[in-house]
Amino acid sequence: MEKILEIKDLSKHYGALKAVDHVSFQIQKGHVYGILGPNGSGKSTTLGMVLNVVNPTAGSYSWFEGTVNNHNALKRIGAIIERPNFYPNMDAVQNLKLVCKIKEISEDKIDEKLELVDLLSRKNSPFKTYSLGMKQRLAIASALLNDPEILILDEPTNGLDPQGIRKIRDIIQHIAKMGTTILLASHLLDEVEKVCTHVIVLRKGQMLYCGPVEEMNKNFGSILIDAVDKAALMRFMKTQDYVGSTEDQLDGFEVKLLKDVNTTQINQDAYNAGIVLSKLMFKKQSLEDQFIELTKN
């Protein structure tokens, strides 16, 4: 598998504050990565370092297996950091032309990318007249100009209204479908859950987890189970070896599972024990639950 980015022991200290502390991970081609972490966990600082705008205190990183130097590697990348930065007096096309000059690519794709983010009709208005949503979309168009090998997005939906968030999310999903590698930093978990195959979890500058989404926590999800005779159900549950902690909720018992289960078998067993279930539902643990669990201590 081709490595796009490799980070080794990267650290950034601001005096005594360890904004990023010995973070190491790899980005493989073709996956969609989410960087998760509460505010101030070092997501943006990490991205800033690999994007050549923040000087690392220690550690190293290399793009494309070290075959090109850093600023040339950045020409093959599309990145948006925090908020869109453009020249306020230039219009969309003039701003994008400048990006083409910096990236040393042809200007043919400007209209195509503006079309993709739905800005073609406003392409000749100065950047300063744009709404925040439009600015953010222009930033995405700009990041896509070179058909990047990896797209880096840092909080792309920050401060947008629901329509704006939906629009950006649709664009990201569209890009992910085309097979572009994406690195998405966000604290909005449903956003990450919808598109990411892999996650990197940071807390207070330290990396807690890096790997596929489904392996983040060793767990088997939970079941929601209910019967008319709750006491009998409770007694039955206590005899089963897959049952972990049980929570009595309004709509039934929420049971954490200790191993993989077959819901048909559970239903059969309960029936054999003389209990008729009124509800049985398998629930995968949400990314939010996993994340909270991982970062709580």
Partner 1 sequence: MKRLLDIEFHKFRYSRSSKILTIIYLSIVALMMLVGMIKIDFNGFSGSFSDLGIFDFPYVWHVSTYFTSFLKIFIAIVIVSLTASEYSNRTIKQNLIDGLSKKELILSKFYFVLILAVLTTLVVFLASLTLGLIYSDYNEIGIIFSDLQFIGAFFLGHLVFFSFCLFAGILLKRSAFALGFVAVWWLFEGAVNIIAYVIDKAYGTQVYDYVLHILPLNAMANLIKQPFTRIDLIGSSINQVTQGGLVFDYQVEWIDVASVLIWSSIFIYWAFALLKRRDL
Name the residue nearer to partner 1 (CB basis): 81 or 132: 81
Phi then psi for residue 140, to 5 deg, are -65, -45
Q: Indicate the DSSP class of residue 241.
A: T
CA 93 remoteness from chain centre: 30
Q: Could you tell me the two tokens for 12? A: 């950034």
Smallest distance from the beta carbon of 202 to partner 1, in angstroms? 18
Q: How far is the CB of 280 from partner 1 (least distance, A)?
A: 51
Which residues on adjacent β-strands are paired with residue 11?
A: 58
Residues that bind partner 1 (CB under 8 A): 48, 51-55, 70-75, 77, 79, 81, 83, 85-90, 94, 97-99, 101-104, 142
- Say which residue the tokens 């739905």 belong to: 118
Nearer residue to partner 1 within complex by CB, 71 or 166 = 71
CB of 13 to partner 1, least distance (A): 12
User: CB-wise, 19 or 201, nearer to partner 1?
Assistant: 19
Q: Which is nearer to partner 1, 98 or 208 (CB)?
A: 98
Neighbours of 56 (CB within 10 A): 19
Cβ proximity to partner 1, 54 vs 234, nearer residue: 54
Closer residue to partner 1 in complex, CB, 83/284? 83
**Burial degree of 243 (CB within 10 A; 0-12, 13-18, 19+):** buried
- Please, what is the minimum distance in Å from the beta carbon of residue 93 to partner 1? 11
Contact yes or no for 220/257 (Cβ under 8 A): yes
Question: Helix or strand or coil: residue 114?
Answer: helix
Q: With respect to partner 1, which residue has the nearer C-beta, 102 or 276?
A: 102
Report DSSP state, residue 296. -
Q: How far apart are CA 53 and CA 249, in angstroms?
A: 50
Q: State how far the Cα of 234 lies from the Cα of 73, in Å rounded to an integer.
A: 60
Token pair recorded at residue 262: 């077959």
Taking the complex as a whole, the smallest distance from the CB of residue 68 to partner 1 amounts, in Å, to 11
SS (H, E, C) 80-98: ECCCCCCCCCCEHHHHHHH
Provide the 10 A C-beta neighbour count for residue 288. Answer: 13
